[in-house]
């Protein structure tokens, strides 16, 4: 199937992303992609120049991995002459084509996957030494330093951001979450974000960089029937930036950490990246929200205050909750951690909260109530 | 794609779906909405699938999704799919036109006066994409996804068009990376290596590599067939036969094993 190289700025100027079945591959675009890769290599001084990383390691070097044909002295498998002293050039014009002669599974994966790594499309020797290596899998360097040679911006984000993510540094580093070759998931992810995230965040006792214990998200979801849309869609990256960021809990943008906050749309930037900000901007509506008494917008009533406006977290959970609309059972109030019960009851045309921040109030979307859902 | 999430229970799914939108599989309202030229247009097209997008022309995520949709649009013929942008009359229509043009997305822009349709469908989010068939049945609902939005939308449209089945849709909604680290794949590499060695006349090394492949993937008919055929080619029918029998046991149609067996017929009792 035809393919296109998408050169985008999401991760770096040379982050190529192939999407198959979307549009016809423009030979010009491919050429530009290859040129961009080479330019990137020159700019960062990486070893991705053809030939630079393909020679066998010098005598005396530590060799961790050896390619089977080279180790067996079978030069003729890849070269025109079966003579270790003078093997001559390789038997194909394109080194990747030569590799695919044996590594059929990779060729198959590249062909069948929606996305493939531009570095592989260009040449396997961008990342692998075909003879031997000081690193596993014949890599010319280990991740993350190998990946950072092209994806320097991501590495900077991971190592210099105020809030960092250990998953980028620990274990297999970049390969904890990304396939270096091909995937059917965006950004060459090994799986949808949630499935990757819960490999760590689905355990008890995981701590953040400051030592604070993090929620076991898998357990939270298992015990709460109502799940936030992005979580249900396994799209944690809708709200969290996986490499590093400037907001707490690796959130992609601002979200108030407190119960009360003077109303300012900027403070709710994260929620308003998807939720319509008008729900807290207009006093009267019959269309923008179901949390209204007649046409009196109760989101506006609760949130839009110069002082002591309730933040989203005052009433809503962010991942999963026991009640509809992600409404919490109770909210932590004050420094002592006292839990203030919300006692929310859904009704056919509205709902009721009682014995909480206020006395019992009922709201009715269709006809309104005498109390008017006051807070 | 709020239709299902692998790994979550059906009860959870039931509660997750449809809370903020009309349910997938139901007939949705089909109002006439004014276009930019003032003429009225029905939301549902009775001849084509309709993909509609509720968007705020100033919201970054809407613009991101519109760019992704723009990249996808060319994959579907106009005769089969109609692309509609629904914009509240709170927004400047000129900005909506500019946003669509800059995203490379061809949209038939319709105005939602007083957010009436937005309210009727209980949309709540920007951007939100819906797919509705010629009978007015909502086939899919997709809010913003950072990851896999295009893959999911592409699959939902193709599924609604009848181009892919439920299983293919499920694979697209829950995609995975290619698994290239299997024993089968490793054995395959060894077999290709063995074939090259055989062609180079290095029979002993070729047999050794084929044997390694059969050891790595004992369930591979191809590995046993290649090993057996090389042993037979080297005149060692005694060692070839068990390998060929194993290959035929795993794959009775294995042509290579069958031919090699002809060269090594069973001796009499």
Q: Which residues pair with A331 in a beta bridge?
A: A340
CB contacts of B31 in chain A (<8 Å) are: none
pLDDT at B14 over 70: no
Residue A353's H or E segment, with its range, is strand A350-353
Tell me the backbone φ, ψ of residue A309, rounded to 5 degrees: -75, 140
pLDDT of residue A355: 65
Could you tell me the CA-to-CA distances from A300 to A303, A313, B19 in Å, in that order? Answer: 5, 15, 21
Give the strand pairing for A361-364 and A350-353: antiparallel
Q: Report helix, strand or coil for B244.
A: helix
pLDDT at A265: 82
Please give the pLDDT value at position A6: 30
Q: Taking residues B76-99, what's their average pLDDT?
A: 96
* A267 or B73, greater pLDDT: B73
CB–CB of B178 and A109 under 8 A? yes
* Min Cα separation A224/chain B (Å): 8
Say yes or no for a CB contact (<8 Å) between A192 and B147: yes
Does the pLDDT of residue A234 top 60, yes or no? yes
Find the mean pLDDT for residues B22-46: 92
Mean pLDDT of A115-140: 94
Distance between A357 CA and the closest CA of chain B, angstroms: 26
By three-state DSSP, how is residue A364 classified?
strand
Per domain, the residue ranges of chain A are 3-141, 162-234, 265-364
Of A103, A189, A192, nearest to B189 by CB-CB distance is A103
Cα B116 to its chain centre, rounded Å, is: 35
Cβ within 8 Å, pair A77-B197:
yes
B-chain residues within 8 Å CB-CB of A276? 56, 124-126
> What 8-state DSSP symbol labels residue B37?
T
Interval A36-94: pLDDT, tens: 444 433 333 333 444 456 899 999 999 999 999 999 999 999 999 999 999 999 999 98
Closest-CA distance of chain A to residue B170, Å: 12
Q: Point out the residue among B15, B126, B193 whose CB comes nearest to the CB of A69.
A: B193
Residue in A closest to B60 by C-alpha: A273
Q: Does residue B135 carry a pLDDT above 90?
A: yes
CA distance A335 to chain B (A): 33
A-B CB pairs within 8 A amount to 176
Most confident residue range from A51-65, A327-341, B38-52: B38-52
Classify burial at A349, counting beta carbons within 10 Å of its beta carbon; exposed 0-12, middle 13-18, buried 19 or more: exposed
Give the bridge partners for A15, in sequence order. A8
The answer to whether the CB of A43 falls within 8 A of the CB of A138 is: no
- Ramachandran assignment for B38, one of left (phi > 0), alpha (psi -120 to 50 degrees), beta (any other): left
**3-state secondary structure labels for all residues of A238-297:** HCECCCEECCHHHECCCCCCCCECCCCHHHHCCHHHCECHHHHCCCECCCCCCCEECCEE
Chain B residues whose beta carbon lies within 8 Å of the beta carbon of residue A199: none
Topology of domain B10-173 in CATH is: Glutaredoxin (3.40.30)
Each residue of A301-312: pLDDT tens digit? 999 988 888 888
Parse chain B into domains and list their residue ranges: 10-173, 183-263
Which CATH code for domain B183-263? 1.25.40.10
Nearest to A77 among B7, B116, B193 (CB): B193
Residue B75 has φ and ψ, to the nearest 5°, of -80, -10
Supply the ipTM of this predicted assembly. Answer: 0.80
Q: How far apart are CA A314 and CA A272, in angstroms?
A: 16
A235 vs B contacts (CB less than 8 Å):
145-148
| pLDDT value of position A354 | 81
Angle between helices A104-112 and B183-199 (to 10 degrees): 130
Q: How far is A42 from chain B (nearest CA, A)?
A: 30
Are B180 and A289 inside 8 Å of each other by CB? no
What pLDDT is stored for residue B195 in this prediction?
95
Q: What is the pLDDT of residue A99?
A: 94
Please report residues of B whose CB lies closer than 8 A to that of A179.
Answer: 177-178
Tokens of A322: 């026991």
Tell me which residue of B89, B101, B178 sits closest to A104, measured CA to CA.
B178
Name the average pLDDT for chain B: 89
What per-residue confidence (pLDDT) applies to A368? 78
Q: Compute the distance between CA of residue A2 and CA of residue A330 in angstroms, rounded to an integer.
A: 54
């Amino acid at each position: 199937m035809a393919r296109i190289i998408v050169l985008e700025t999401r991760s770096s100027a040379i982050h190529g992303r192939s999407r198959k079945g979307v549009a016809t591959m423009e030979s010009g675009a491919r050429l530009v992609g290859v040129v961009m890769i080479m330019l990137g290599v020159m700019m960062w001084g990486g070893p991705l120049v053809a030939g630079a990383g393909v020679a066998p390691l010098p005598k005396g070097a530590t060799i961790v991995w050896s390619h089977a044909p080279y180790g067996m002295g079978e030069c003729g498998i890849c070269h025109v002459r079966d003579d270790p002293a003078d093997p001559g050039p390789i038997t194909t014009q394109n080194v990747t084509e030569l590799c695919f002669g044996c590594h059929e599974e990779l060729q198959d994966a590249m062909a069948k996957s929606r996305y493939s790594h531009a570095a592989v499309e260009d040449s396997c020797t961008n990342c692998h030494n075909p003879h031997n290596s000081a690193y596993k899998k014949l890599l010319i360097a280990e991740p993350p330093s190998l990946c950072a040679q092209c994806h320097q911006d991501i590495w900077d984000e991971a190592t210099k951001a105020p809030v960092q993510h250990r998953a980028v540094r620990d274990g297999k580093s970049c390969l904890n979450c990304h396939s270096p070759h091909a995937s059917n998931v965006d950004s060459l992810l090994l799986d949808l974000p949630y499935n990757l995230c819960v490999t760590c965040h689905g355990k008890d006792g995981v701590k953040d960089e400051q030592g604070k214990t993090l929620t076991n998200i898998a357990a939270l979801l298992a015990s709460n029937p109502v799940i936030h849309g992005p979580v249900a869609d396994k799209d944690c990256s809708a709200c969290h930036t996986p490499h590093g960021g400037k907001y707490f809990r690796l959130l992609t943008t601002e979200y108030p950490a407190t119960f009360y906050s003077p109303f300012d749309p900027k403070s709710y930037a994260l929620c308003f990246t998807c939720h319509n900000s008008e729900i807290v901007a207009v006093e009267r509506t019959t269309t923008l929200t179901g949390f209204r008494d007649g046409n009196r917008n109760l989101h506006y009533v609760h949130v839009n205050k110069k002082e002591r406006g309730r933040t989203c977290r005052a009433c809503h959970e962010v991942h999963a909750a026991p009640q509809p609309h992600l409404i919490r059972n109770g909210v932590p109030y004050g420094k002592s951690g006292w839990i203030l019960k919300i006692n929310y009851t859904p009704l056919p045309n509205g709902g009721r909260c009682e014995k909480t921040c206020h006395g019992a109030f009922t709201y009715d979307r269709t006809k309104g109530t005498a109390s008017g859902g006051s807070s | 794609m709020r239709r299902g999430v692998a790994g979550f229970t059906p009860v959870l799914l039931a509660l997750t779906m449809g809370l903020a939108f009309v349910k997938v599989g139901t007939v949705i309202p089909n109002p006439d909405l004014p276009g930019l030229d003032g003429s009225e247009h029905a939301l549902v097209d009775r001849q084509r699938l309709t993909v509609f997008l509720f968007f705020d022309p100033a919201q970054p995520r809407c613009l991101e999704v519109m760019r992704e949709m723009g990249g996808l649009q060319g994959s579907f013929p106009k005769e089969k799919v109609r692309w509609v942008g629904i914009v509240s009359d709170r927004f400047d229509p000129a900005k909506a036109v500019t946003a669509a043009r800059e995203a490379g997305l061809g949209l038939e822009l319709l105005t939602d006066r007083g957010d009436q349709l937005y309210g009727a469908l209980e949309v709540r989010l920007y951007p939100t994409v819906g797919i509705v068939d010629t009978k007015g049945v909502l086939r899919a609902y997709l809010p913003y996804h950072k990851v896999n939005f295009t893959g999911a939308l592409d699959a939902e449209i193709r599924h609604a068009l009848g181009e892919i089945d439920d299983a293919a849709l499920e694979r697209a909604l829950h995609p995975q990376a290619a698994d290239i680290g299997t024993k089968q794949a490793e054995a395959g590499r060894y077999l290709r290596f063995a074939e090259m060695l055989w062609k180079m006349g290095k029979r002993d090394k070729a047999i050794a590599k084929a044997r390694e492949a059969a050891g790595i993937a004992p369930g591979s008919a191809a590995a046993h067939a290649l090993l057996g055929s090389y042993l037979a080619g080297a005149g060692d029918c005694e060692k070839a036969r068990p390998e060929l029998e194993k290959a035929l046991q795993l794959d009775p149609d294995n042509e290579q094993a069958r031919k090699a067996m002809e060269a090594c017929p069973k001796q009499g009792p």
